[in-house]
Structure 1
Amino acid sequence: MRRLQGREELVPPTYRALQDEATLGEAALEQSLAGVAMRRYGETMPDLLGIPDELPVTHVSRSTVSRRFLAEAGAILAEVLHRPLSERYLVVFLDGLALGEHQVVAAVGVTEAGQKRVLALWEGVTESREVCQALVEDLAARGLSAQHGLLVVIDGSKALAAAVRAVWGERALIQRCVCHKARNVLEKLPRSLQGMVRRRLARAWGEADAAAAALSLQALADRLDETGYAEAAAR
């Protein structure tokens, strides 16, 4: 583009903004994280890129915005999942998440200051022992130590428990997640009993004395067993 008089080349602001790789990538990431659908990028891109409202953005396809988001998000994710874990972590939560046809095992740590941080994500077809072992070994290789003790909260997966014991040994104390525990028990009971059992579980877990809590939970298990719900009692 040139002026009517003279040969000075003009660069439209829209073109300049859309040629800025870093800015466009950040804009795509920001709008995607905000929940904006790719098909609606034209409604949000002008403000993010500093383009005047009278110059509508029609020069970037949805696939381009999607690619920019994947590139930006991938770079951030790689940085997070490969950073050294030099801080001391007191607690690590390990859990398997089903995302479509994929199974992702996630690790979240709690520091001495009480801050929660995502530590790792490991993808596999199932929550297999190999996937769990690889995730825990990766955490240890990046510096997560159980030298001074480590509480590891899991969902009851035998594969996760085996991986934790193999990598961190006896210095890692394994705790069954109470949310998963309650869910596993309640799914084996009729709806009419679920409220009562949920309340008794919460009351037992809220006990200040561990022995009293154990007695309360055992009494609940015995009652379920006696009334024909042995599978729930065994959970």
Structure 2
Amino acid sequence: MELLLLSNSTQHGHGYLEHALGVVTGFVPSGGTLVFVPYALDDHDAYTATVRAALEPSGITVRGVHEAGDPVGALTGADAVFVGGGNSFRLLRALYATGLRDALGGAVRGGLRYMGASAGTNMACPTLRTTNDMPIVEPPSFAALGLLPFQINPHYLDPAPGGTHMGETREQRLTEFLECNDVPVLGLREGTWLRVSGSRAELGGALPARLLRRGQEPAELPAGSDVSVLLSASPAFDS
């Protein structure tokens, strides 16, 4: 499989996808067709227009899966699919409702390149249990696409130095997840991504990632790290 999983699509001081445009255009080469899945936001047309404006100047044709009335059929003939960010619960519910949850998994395993950002990156995991989002709707299941055998936490945040906020930190919340589920969690900070090509997985971006495992101290993994070992994880979820 070929996967590009971004922590975020918008970065402070940059336009949409601008911070990762080099890796995106390398993943979806000029002249290619990218099918966009906009269901994580409410206005599908406006969201698709944003992606077009960001990528079509690089020679990438963008089609929204919702535009032809057949979301599953829209995958046919595409070079890549991009599942955009927003609310992970709304996105997953729509994937089930449209038939894309099963169709995407089969197409990507069959060679369709998959790019995700934020909620779209969550969808590549076994479940959405490590999302940061509020459950504004209820999908039929928490089971996502399962393209990876481990979990990702996009937008991973470190505690603010000297901060007085008494709520749980992101690390504490993910530790709670690990108390119930024996599955590695890769925290991707803003401006970073995971690139998977076949049996190889590598971190990209300017910042390190945070890897959390049950019973182990969290580890900092610098950009460029080979994390292919995670592709052989054997997840155990609490049902």
- Normalised by the size of structure 2, how large is the TM-score? 0.31
More helix by proportion, 1 or 2? 1
Larger gyration radius, structure 1 or structure 2: 1
Query: RCO higher in 1 or 2 (8 Å CA, sep ≥ 6)?
Result: 2
- Normalised by the size of structure 1, how large is the TM-score? 0.31
